[in-house]
A = this chain, B = another copy of it.
Amino acid sequence: MPRFMDVHHNMKGITADQLREAHNADLAIEKDEAVHFEKAWADPASGTVYCLSEAPSAEAVQRIHERSGHLADEIHPVPLTI
């Protein structure tokens, strides 16, 4: 299954609780699109959030994020990992 890194900007001040809530909202519906969100990292100072997922397509990742209320600003396939 392809892997994707998606990026959210404008999340300044995000807290650990808010990150967990957002991630859980994705996990609750991810199976509808055969997506799995593996990890997320947040920088509250710059407002940047990175999410790593396995998914059939970038569009599938975005549909889950859209339904959860947090559209991604960028979604990159990352076929290379080390």
Q: Are A41 and B52 in contact (CB under 8 A)?
A: yes
Interface size for A (C-beta < 8 A) is: 26
Q: Are B76 and A40 in contact (CB under 8 A)?
A: no
Copy number of this protein in the oligomer? 2
Q: Are A79 and B39 in contact (CB under 8 A)?
A: no
**Interface with B: A15-23, A28-36, A65-73, which one?**
A15-23
- Measured CB to CB, the residues of A under 8 A from B are 3, 5, 14-16, 19-20, 23, 39-46, 48, 50, 52, 76-82
Task: Report, nearest first, the 10 A-B pairs whose CB atoms are least far apart.
Answer: A41-B78, A42-B80, A43-B76, A23-B82, A40-B82, A19-B80, A43-B78, A16-B80, A41-B81, A48-B76
